[in-house]
Amino acid sequence: MATPGKPLIEVVDLEKDYPTGAGVFQALRGVSLSIATGEFVAIMGASGSGKSTFMNLLGCLDRPTRGSYHLDGIDVSRMSSDQLAALRNREIGFVFQGFNLLPKMTSLDNVALPLMYAGMGRQARRQQAQTVLERVGLGERSHHTPLQLSGGQQQRVAIARAMATRPRIIFADEPTGNLDSETSHQVMGLFSQLNRDEGITLVLVTHEADIAAYARRRIRFQDGRVVEDVPQKAVAA
C-alpha cells in the first residue's frame, strides 16, 4: 500500500516531444500534478490535446523526454523497458476503448494472461482468473471467447484482466467509446464500485461529459498543458 502522506503518482514538468517531418511536435509542454491513492480522476480534452500521451506516460508504456515521474515514490522515468514491463504487470491495469482481448482465447485465458507474465503456475492463475471474472459478474462466461460475448461483456472481461494481478492503478482509455449508452453506464458503475470497494485508483480518459461525471476529480488538457484541475461531486453509481 502507498506510503501515507506521499502521492501515488507525482509528475513534475513532464514534457514529451515527438520528432515529425516538420520538426519537433511538443505533445506535452510541462505537466505537473499528483494523484493520491484511491482517487478517481477523469482526464478530458480534445484529440491532440496531449491526454493520450499523458496516459501512456503514466501507464509506463512510454518514457518522458523531460521531467520526472514518481510512481509510489519511485522514479520510473529512467527505468529500462523490462523494468517498466514488470511494473505494468504488477502495479498497473489497462482498459482500452477497443477492449483489446485476444480473440482466440477464452475469457478465462485472457484474464489469466497477466498472471502468466507474473510467473504464476497454470492452475493457480486459472483459479484466480475465475475469481476475478466472478467479481465482474461473468463467472459463467469464463469459457466463452470474446466473439461470443457482447461489447459490454467484453469490456468487463477486459476490466477483469486489468484487475487480475491486483494492481494499484487502472488506466481506462475511452472505455465506453465502443459501447451504447446503457452499457456504458453499467461499465462505469462497475468502475465506481471497484474504486469505492477495493480502493483501486482510477484514471479515466474520456471526452464524454456524462462519463467523466462518474469521477471525483476532473483534469482538462489543451495543447499539451493542464488547463483545468477541479474536484467534482461524483454521480451516484
Partner 1 sequence: MIFTSLFETAWHALVTHRMRSFLTMLGMVIGVAAVILMLAIGQGAQAMVRSSIESMGSNLFIIMSGATTSGGARVAGGMAPTLTFSDADAIRGLGDIVAAAPVSPGTAQLIYGGLNWNTSVYGTTPDYAVVRDWPMESGGFFSEADVRSGARVAVIGAVVGRELFGDEDPIGKIIRIRQAPFEVIGVLAAKGQSLDGRDQDDTVIVPITSAQQKIFSSSMRNRARLIMAQAVSDKRMDAAESGINELLRNRHRIGVGQDDDFTVRNLTALAETAASTTRIMSLLLGAIAAISLVVGGIGIMNIMLVSVTERTREIGIRMAIGARRRDVLWQFLIEALTLSLIGCAIGLGLGIGGAWLVGNLAGLPVAVTPASVLMAVGVSFLIGVFFGFYPARSAAGLDPIEALRAQ
Q: Is 119 in the site for partner 1 (CB under 8 A)?
A: yes
Q: Rounded CA gap, 10 and 178, in Å? A: 31
Mention every residue, 6+ apart, whose C-beta is less than 8 A from residue 21: none
Instruction: Give the interface segment with partner 1, choosing from 26-34, 77-85, 192-200, 220-228 (CB under 8 A).
Output: 77-85
Q: Is 224 in the site for partner 1 (CB under 8 A)?
A: no
Q: Are 211 and 184 in contact (CB under 8 A)?
A: yes
Q: Rounded CA gap, 237 and 235, in Å? A: 6
Q: Is 79 in the site for partner 1 (CB under 8 A)?
A: no
Task: Enumerate residues 5-64 that contact partner 1 by CB under 8 A.
Answer: 56, 59, 61-62
Instruction: Give the interface segment with partner 1, choosing from 37-45, 98-106, 191-199, 225-233 (CB under 8 A).
Output: 98-106
Q: Is 234 in the site for partner 1 (CB under 8 A)?
A: no
Q: Quote the least distance from Cβ 121 to partner 1, whole Å.
A: 7
Contact characters 146-185, partner 1, x per CB under 8 A: ---------------x---x--------------------
Q: Quote the least distance from Cβ 36 to partner 1, whole Å.
A: 24
Q: Rounded CA gap, 103 and 223, in Å? A: 36
Q: Is 121 in the site for partner 1 (CB under 8 A)?
A: yes
Closest by CA position to 52, among listed 215, 221, 184, 166: 221
Edge to edge, the sheet with strand 9-20 lists 23-35, 9-20, 66-71, 74-75
One residue of 29, 117, 126, 234 binding partner 1 per CB under 8 A: 117
Instruction: Give the interface segment with partner 1, choosing from 70-78, 109-117, 130-138, 192-200 (CB under 8 A).
Output: 109-117
Q: Are 95 and 157 in contact (CB under 8 A)?
A: no
Nearest residue (CB) to partner 1, 204 versus 217: 204
- Gyration radius (Cα) of the chain, Å: 18
One residue of 16, 51, 88, 141 binding partner 1 per CB under 8 A: 88
Q: Is 85 in the site for partner 1 (CB under 8 A)?
A: yes
Closest by CA position to 117, among listed 148, 143, 86: 86
Q: Rounded CA gap, 222 and 213, in Å? A: 19
Q: Which residues of 11-22 are buried (b: 16+ CB within 10 A; e: fewer)?
A: beebbbeeeeee
Which residues of this protein are in contact with partner 1, per CB under 8 A?
Answer: 56, 59, 61-62, 81-82, 85-86, 88-90, 93-94, 96, 100-102, 104-105, 113-114, 116-122, 161, 165
